[in-house]
Amino acid sequence: MSEITRVEPDLQFIKYLKSAGGDSMKKCYQCATCSVVCPLATDGNPFPRKEMIWAQWGLKEKLAADPDILLCHQCGDCTAYCPRGAKPGDVLGAIRAYAYTHFGFPQGLAKLCSDGKNLPILIGIPVLIIGILWMISGGMALPDVETFKEVGFGHFFGHWDFHWLTKNVFFIDLIFIPAFFFAAFAAFKGAKAMWDRMSDSLDANPDFRPSAGQFVVDFLAPAVIESVKHKRFNECGVNRNRVIGHLPLLLSFIALLAVTSYSLLRKDLFSLLVSEELRAVLHGPIPLADPFKVLANIGAIALIVGVGILWVNRSRNEAEQGSRATFYDWFLIGLIMSVGISGLGAEIVRLLGIVWLAYFFYFVHLVSIFMLFLYMPYTKFAHMVYRIVAMAFEKYRESRFVNPAVGE
């Protein structure tokens, strides 16, 4: 007698997918065109055909344990060739948005970041935190133009004569170091929960697992390298030019991280080893001719250009393919654009010597960066973490630890 499988759809999950951009999924009638054009699909893995029917049935547990959802680069080929207009790419995007909330830690903050109605709160939290600390620091008293030209934003949070740590750095560290470690911990918790869920779906020996070193060398490091190279974007057809936006954006983040590290060393380490006169120079604005300042400006422009290309691509997809505009897609695009424009704007206005406007841009810049850190594990930015984990898992499930025949 054949076994009967009972399907119990989660109607709330289906409702969420429809509201998050997957409202076209009911048009799918399993023709498999999407699996034919998708480079991820194989004979034994009809992606995203199986995910479309799982989504229609509301099988959120199966989708949450499916690494292919994160391996998808949303190149748009499946949506472009779908004869029914089911938009599989949009459905997969909605599923990923759900996954970031589903695995998010803590759940309260993850759910807050999942709905555009909460945008005033999402902006208000960092504005309130930075605003209160700015007020407490005494930095709200704007400097005169001459002082501003000499110290730049070095007195944004005020000034004291403590040799080992400037007041400005103290307050910036007070804001961003906890935000960074919180985001890193939350992302780790979410990624681990996803890995555990995916591992439960494997028929693997729990006593035969890679060591920490093996995991990093054989699975994690190759996944990171592949992600940085954007190799899989080149397998896309219709939207292959998305790499033109993603790659400069990624490289700009790397460049700006290098510049931030240099600024930290210059202003807060090297300055301790020199005379008082030279220390004042090191604490001031980095000269425009400094190679790292040049790199910073190039990185800022690349960031704006990269996210601008993604902005145009997303708008074009919505116009030409009928993709639905979602908070999940636009929140991160708008936030990164805010980071780039406010940072570059603060520098330009500083050079013009307009103190109040420069301080306004700088405040917006701090708020934008704080939001980028704090909400990273719950927004589309989280795919940077979850996709690398999924890539590592893909390599793991094809290894001898899961498939003994590989080692023979």
Asked if pLDDT for residue 134 goes beyond 90, the answer is: yes
> What radius of gyration, in Å, describes the C-alpha atoms of the chain?
24
In sequence order, which residues have a C-beta less than 8 Å from that of residue 31 and are 6 or more positions away? 83, 84
Only one residue has tokens 């991280």, namely: 257
Measured distance CA(157)–CA(160) in Å, rounded: 10
Query: What pLDDT score was predicted for residue 6?
Result: 66
Burial 329-353 (b: 16+ CB within 10 A, else e): bbbbbebbbbbbbbbbbbbebbeee
Residue among 360, 313, 315 nearest 338 (CA): 360
Least confident of 39-53, 96-110, 168-182, 297-311: 39-53
Confidence of residue 234 (pLDDT cuts 50, 70, 90): low
Query: What pLDDT score was predicted for residue 1?
Result: 44
Measured distance CA(399)–CA(200) in Å, rounded: 16
Residue-wise pLDDT for 20-74, tens only, equals 777 788 888 889 898 988 887 887 888 898 999 999 888 888 888 888 888 887 7
Query: What pLDDT score was predicted for residue 263?
Result: 85
Whole-number percent of the chain with pLDDT over 70: 92
Residue-wise pLDDT for 261-272, tens only, equals 888 888 777 777
Which range is most confident: 187-191, 212-216, 248-252? 187-191
288 against 123, higher pLDDT: 123
Cross-strand pairs, 42: 45
Asked if pLDDT for residue 241 goes beyond 70, the answer is: no
In sequence order, which residues have a C-beta less than 8 Å from that of residue 193 and are 6 or more positions away? 103, 105
CA–CA distances in Å: residue 120 to residues 94, 105, 113, 126, 400: 22, 21, 11, 11, 49
Burial 370-387 (b: 16+ CB within 10 A, else e): bbbbbbbbbbbbbbebbb
Residue among 350, 354, 355 nearest 140 (CA): 355
Confidence of residue 319 (pLDDT cuts 50, 70, 90): confident
Query: What pLDDT score was predicted for residue 10?
Result: 78
- Structure tokens given for 142: 């704007």
Residue-wise pLDDT for 149-196, tens only, equals 888 898 899 988 887 788 888 999 999 999 999 999 999 999 999 999
Query: What pLDDT score was predicted for residue 405?
Result: 63
Asked if pLDDT for residue 274 goes beyond 50, the answer is: yes
Measured distance CA(210)–CA(205) in Å, rounded: 11
pTM: 0.86
In sequence order, which residues have a C-beta less than 8 Å from that of residue 96 and are 6 or more positions away? 69, 70, 72, 380, 383, 386
Query: What pLDDT score was predicted for residue 130?
Result: 97
9 against 405, higher pLDDT: 9
Cross-strand pairs, 45: 42
Measured distance CA(179)–CA(68) in Å, rounded: 30
Average pLDDT, the chain: 86
Check if the beta carbon of residue 379 is closer than 8 Å to that of residue 330: no
Query: What pLDDT score was predicted for residue 93?
Result: 87
Query: What pLDDT score was predicted for residue 179?
Result: 94
- Structure tokens given for 102: 């589903």
Confidence of residue 136 (pLDDT cuts 50, 70, 90): very high
Which range is most confident: 19-33, 101-115, 279-293? 101-115
CB atoms within 10 A of CB 51: 25
My answer on whether omega of the bond before 206 falls inside 30° of 0, hence cis, is no
Asked if pLDDT for residue 145 goes beyond 80, the answer is: yes
Query: How much is the average pLDDT of 283-295?
Result: 86
7 against 101, higher pLDDT: 101
Residue-wise pLDDT for 340-365, tens only, equals 999 999 999 999 999 999 999 999 99
